[in-house]
Amino acid sequence: MSTSEIDRQWTTRLRKRTFGKLPPEKMLPDTQPSYVSSWIYVFGVATISSIVVVIGTGCVLAIFGPQWWHTSPEGRFVNSLHLWSVEIFFFSMVIHLWGKYFMAAWRGGRALTWITGMVLFLCSIVTALTGYVSQSNFDSQWISTQAKDAINGSGGGAFFNLLNGGQMLMWHIVLMPLILVLLVGVHVVLVRIKGVVPPFEENAGADQ
Amino acid sequence: MGSFLFGALINLNHPDHYFQWHFLGISAANAIVIVLMVATFVAALLLPFPGRRRRKENQ
Ligand code: HEM
């Protein structure tokens, strides 16, 4: 068998492409450039950590259901953990976003990292909205009847109906978490492939 | 006992406060969160990162 025949295998090609672009030392590096030792770089990881708590507490809510999370002290506690980890998630994501904005961290071929970040931000808002209307209380009724007009005005109401509790719950606990987790994966792998963006002084005028 | 342990430190069981400035309105809760985010952002830029010195010494 000639080498070219082996090269045509999809397993061989996939391995060469993956490990060519992202060898293990780049995926999980030992060190980072000195400018990375700043608190501003902590907020991306803080965002990941809080989304882990959000999904974990969400799974507990899914196991026991609305009666439990509205009435029992334990249920309300886990419900609160879910809410407050979402607060920390958005809080750290916004500081992360500001940091990357002022670093112009899309420089040097990092546009896709920025774009996946923007899409993550928008998808997070949709996830939060579907979460608010999935509470199954007066708050969720109020929010869904207020927000439906905006969705209907945009034409999206035909397939995204805020008054359809079942549909909103499924978006909240299936589709949106799936999209968020996949996108976070792509976002972080892109950062690892390109490496952390260097500060302005080092490449002034080089790659704007 | 349960409500003593898990109740919020601040009583939140009332209609929310709003700041109104001409046509601009914002709830106190949202305003507080924004102020805290800006403060945390500034702190993240100014506060020294622990371990920074140690790494320099090792070099
Ligand atoms: C679910 C939300 C998000 C998560 C979990 C996340 C996570 C991360 C992590 C772990 C890093 C690397 C470490 C760091 O620099 O902090 C990173 C880098 C980056 N993030 Fe995010 N991020 C999110 C949202 C965003 C948003 C909303 C934006 C901007 C619109 C953004 C833009 C960037 C950029 C441009 C980089 C690359 C920085 C560089 O190359 O130096 N991210 N992100």
- Per-residue pLDDT of A5-29, as tens digits, reads 777 899 999 999 999 989 999 899 9
- Do A177 and A110 share a domain, yes or no? yes
Q: What is the mean pLDDT of residues B33-41?
A: 98
Q: Is residue A80 part of a domain?
A: yes
Res. A204: pLDDT tops 70: no
Q: Is residue A21 part of a domain?
A: no
- Quote the ligand 1 centre to A82 CA distance (angstroms): 22
Could you tell me the pTM of the whole model?
A: 0.88
**Nearest Cα to Cα of residue A180 among A169, A170, A191, A172:** A172
Nearest Cα residue in chain A from B36: A91
- Per-residue pLDDT of A120-178, as tens digits, reads 999 999 999 999 999 999 999 999 999 999 999 999 999 999 999 999 999 999 999 99
Into how many domains does chain A fold?
2
- Do A110 and A186 share a domain, yes or no? yes
Q: What is the mean pLDDT of residues A79-107?
A: 97
Contacts of B2 in chain A (CB under 8 A): 73
Hey, are the CB atoms on A77 and B51 less than 8 Å from each other?
no
A184 C-beta neighbours (distance < 10 Å), count: 17
User: Torsion over CA of A81, A84, A90 and A92, rounded to 10 degrees?
Assistant: -90
- Do A78 and A109 share a domain, yes or no? no
Mean of the per-residue pLDDT values for chain B? Answer: 82
Which range of residues forms the domain containing residue A45?
39-92
CA distance B17 to B29: 8
Q: Of the candidates A57, A92, A127, which is a domain's last residue?
A: A92
8 Å CB contact between A159 and A73: no
Q: What is the ipTM score, two decimals? A: 0.85
- Do A122 and A183 share a domain, yes or no? yes
- What is the nearest CA distance from A12 to chain B, expressed in angstroms? 40
Domain extents for chain B? 15-48
